[in-house]
Amino acid sequence: MSTPRKTRAEAALATADRLIASARRLFAAHGAAAVSLDALAADSGVTRGALHHHFGNRAGLFEAVFRREVQALGQRLDALWEAEMAVAGDRWGSFRHTFHAYLDAVVEPGTRRILLQDGPAVLGETAVDILLADGFGTMVDDLRGMVALGRVVPLDPVAMGHLFNGATINLAFWAAEDAPGEDRLARAHATLEAMFAGFGRG
Amino acid sequence: MSTPRKTRAEAALATADRLIASARRLFAAHGAAAVSLDALAADSGVTRGALHHHFGNRAGLFEAVFRREVQALGQRLDALWEAEMAVAGDRWGSFRHTFHAYLDAVVEPGTRRILLQDGPAVLGETAVDILLADGFGTMVDDLRGMVALGRVVPLDPVAMGHLFNGATINLAFWAAEDAPGEDRLARAHATLEAMFAGFGRG
DNA sequence: CGACCCGCATACGAACTGTAGGCGAAGCCT
DNA sequence: AGGCTTCGCCTACAGTTCGTATGCGGGTCG
C-alpha cells in the first residue's frame, strides 16, 4: 500500500458512498419520505452537514441513489440482452426475455420502491429523464429497428416502449404481494408473454 | 327554506367539503407533499384545527380526496360502459372503449397526479385497496366473464387487469407531455388498441 | 330552561430542514 | 521544509411545519 492514509478526494468519495449506501438501505426499507436526514446521517456515521455538503438536500441524495440503481439494473439487463443475442441471435426473442428479467428484478421490494414508487414521487419529471437517458432509450431504439425489419407491428416505438414498461411495472406491483401457493409471478410472466405475442410479426 | 341557519351536522359537512375541495385543487396543482396544511386551511377559510378534527392528518385528508376522485371517475366510466352495452351489446368492444375513455381521463393533469402519482406515494398499499373496491373489481369481473365466454384469451383476469391498467397509465404519462403537432394521444390510443387486439378472441 | 355535547379555534411543544460560520487537515508553492 | 490556501466536514442557529391538548360557543336533548 503506497498510501495507507486516504487522500482528501478519496475520503470525500468514501463519505458520499457511505451516505448513498445508507440512503439506499433506509429508503428501500421505509420509503424516501419517511426517513429523516438526521437518521440518515447517524446511520452512515457522519453529520447532516456532510450530507448537505455533498447532495444539497434530500432530493439530491435520492437522485444519487436513483441514478445508481438505474445504472446497476441497466447494466444487468444489457448484459443479459447481449448474451441472448450472442447465443440465439433473435432480436425479438432477446427483447422479450430482457423484459421478463426486468419484471423479475422489480419484484424485489427495494428496487421496486426506489425505481417505481419513490422515484416518480420525489424526482417527478426528472425520473423519466434519467430513465430515458440510461437504458430506456436503447430499448426504444431496438424496438424501432425491429419495426423497420417488419419483426414488430408498425406502431410508434416510443409508445410501445411506454406501454410495455407500464404493463411490466403494474404486474410487478401485483406479483409482489404473492400469497403462498398463488404463484402470481408465473401468471404475470404468462400474461406479459401473451401481450408480446400480439405485437410480434414473422 | 325551512332552515336558513345550518344545523351542526350540516355545518360540519360543509367545512369538510370545503377542505376537500381546497385540497383537491391545491394537491392537483402543486402535489400533495408540496402544500402545507396551513396554506390548505387558509385557502378553505378555516383553521388547521378543523382539518385535524375531521381528517386527523394530511394522509387522512388526501385519502378523502382520493376516494372522491376514484368514485367520480368510476361513475363516469360505468355510465359510459352501460351506454355502450345498451347500444351495441358488445362486451369486449365496450370494455375496450371504456379503457380508451380511461386513458383520456387520466391525461388530465389533476386527475393524473392525484390518482396515479400522489395516490400510491401517499397511501401506499391503501391506494390499490381503494381502487380494487371501487371500479377496478367490476372491471376484473367483466374480464373473467369474457374469458369464460371465450371472448378473451384464457389467462388470469386479475393479471390482465393489472397489465391493461399499467399500460394505460404509462401511456397517459407519456401522452400528457405532448408537443404541438406530435399528437401523442392518438398514438397512445392506437398502441393501446393494438394491445387489446392480441387479447381478444372471436 | 338547563346541562350536555360537538364542531372548531387557539396555544403550545416538538421535530425537521436549510444555512452560515468555523476548524482542522490535505494540497500546493517557493 | 514551512507557510498559505483550499476543501471537506462539523457545529450552531433560525425558520417552518406538524400534531396535541385545551378552551369556547352554540346546537341539542331531556
- Residue B163 in contact with partner chain A when CB distance is under 8 A: yes
Q: Which nucleotide is nearest to A47 (CA to C1')?
A: D10
CA distance A31 to chain B (A): 9
Dihedral sign (CA B38, A119, B123, A42) = negative
Alpha-carbon distance values, A124 to A56, A117, A164, A187, B117 (Å): 18, 11, 20, 31, 9
Residue A191 is nearest to which of B160, B168, B170, comparing CB atoms?
B160
Chain A residues with CB under 8 Å of B120 CB are 117, 121
Q: What's residue B8's pLDDT?
A: 64
Check whether A1 has a pLDDT greater than 70.
no
Q: Measured from the CB, is B83 under 7 Å from any atom of strand C?
A: no
**In this predicted model, what pLDDT tens digit does every residue of A126-140 receive, in sequence order?**
999 999 898 889 999
How far, CA to CA in Å, does A52 sit from each of A38, A41, A44, A59?
Answer: 11, 10, 14, 11
Q: CA–CA separation, B138 vs A186, rounded Å?
A: 24
Of B197, B37, B70, B87, nearest in space to B139 by CA? B70
C-alpha cell belonging to residue A30: 421505509
Calculate how close chain B gets to A11, using CA atoms only, in Å.
35
Q: Do A191 and B121 touch (CB under 8 A)?
A: no
Straight-line distance from CA A53 to C1' C30, in Å? 33
Dihedral sign of CA atoms A167, A170, A174, A176 in order = positive
CB contacts of A188 in chain B (<8 Å) are 159
B140 Cβ contacts chain C strand, under 7 Å: no
Q: What is the mean pLDDT of residues A141-166?
A: 97
pLDDT tens digits, residue range A57-92?
Answer: 999 999 999 999 999 999 999 999 999 999 999 999
B144 touches strand D (CB under 7 A): no
**The model's pTM:** 0.92
pLDDT score of B14: 84
A198 touches chain B (CB under 8 A): yes
C-beta of residue A40 within 8 angstroms of C-beta of residue A16 = no
- Rounded mean pLDDT of A106-112? 96
Is pLDDT above 70 for A3? no
In chain A, the N- to C-terminal Cα span, in Å, equals: 59
Residues present in chain B in total: 202
Is the CB of B80 inside 8 Å of chain A's CB atoms?
no
Determine what percent of chain A is predicted with pLDDT higher than 70. 97
Q: For B163, which of A155, A158, A191 is closest by C-beta distance?
A: A191
Rounded to a whole number, what is the distance in Å from the CA of A196 to chain B's nearest CA? 8
Q: List the A110 CA – C21 C1' distance (angstroms).
A: 39
Q: Does B148 touch chain A (CB under 8 A)?
A: no
- Cα dihedral B28, B33, B39, B42, rounded to 10, equals 60
Give me the CA B41–C1' C11 separation in Å, rounded: 17
How high does pLDDT run on average in chain A? 93
Segment (H or E) for A71: helix A58-87
Closest nucleotide to the alpha carbon of B50, via C1': C8
The rounded distance, in Å, linking the Cα atoms of A124 and A122 is 6
Q: Which nucleotides of D are covered by protein (CB under 7 A)?
A: 7-12, 16-22, 26-28
Q: What is the mean pLDDT of residues A150-159?
A: 97
Which residues of chain B carry a pLDDT beneath 50?
1-4
Q: Give the CA angle between residues A191, B146, B71 to the nearest 5°.
A: 85
